[in-house]
Amino acid sequence: MSDILQRFWILPVIMLTSLAACTNLPTSSSHLPATGWSPSLLVTSQVEELMLYYDFLRKQPAPELIKEYDKARQALTQSKTDVNRVRVALLLSMPNTPFHDTAAALGLLNEVSKETKAPSPSLRGLANMMAMMIAEQQRANNNADDLSQKLKDEQKRADALQGQVDGIKNMEKNLIRRDRRGITTKP
């Protein structure tokens, strides 16, 4: 009898496994429609969805990025979830966009890290990694700005010194011309 019960127990497990496998099949051939971002049905985690979203974003022209940023901001306003925070931070950290703001992106990512309701470890890890990379990018940009300012200051100093050198050369030329003309100065 136990042999018969084992056979009946295996049949429902096989059926449930088959049904679960069927639910992950996509309904369309593309998970990135031309009208905007739509997560794939094959996405298994929030981090994977965000990585696909970033891949989608980096291929978009500027006008589409602006529309996507507006949609992401509205979604964040309506629902302050960690995924929405990271999504907006991704957009804010994209270079060469009119809404580029690394400080705001860092603020959102720090909110994910400080969230009292623990986000998934992988989402928290992604947010921490992004925050670290953006902070490092900010430090590098600040260093580049400082070096650029120092270069401008040194250029001004070099120009001033060159002006002094040119002034001394002109005085020497004038003295030499005066000596050649036979003009002498009386004490």
Is 15 inside any structural domain? no
Is 42 inside any structural domain? yes
CA distances from 75 to 14, 49, 87 (A): 40, 16, 10
Q: How far apart are CA 58 and CA 53, in angstroms?
A: 9
Residue 91 near residue 68, CB atoms below 8 Å: yes
Is 145 inside any structural domain? yes
| Entry pTM | 0.60
Is 24 inside any structural domain? no
Q: Which amino acid is at 102?
A: T
The confidence score (pLDDT) of residue 35 equals 56
The confidence score (pLDDT) of residue 44 equals 67
pLDDT by position in tens, the chain (length 187): 455 444 444 444 444 444 444 444 443 333 444 456 666 555 568 888 899 999 999 999 999 999 999 999 999 999 988 999 999 999 999 988 999 999 999 999 998 887 667 668 888 888 989 999 999 988 998 999 999 999 999 999 999 999 999 999 999 999 888 888 875 555 5
Is 5 inside any structural domain? no
Is 7 inside any structural domain? no
Counted domains in the chain: 1
Is 3 inside any structural domain? no
Provide the residue range defining the domain that includes 70: 34-180
The confidence score (pLDDT) of residue 43 equals 55
Is 10 inside any structural domain? no
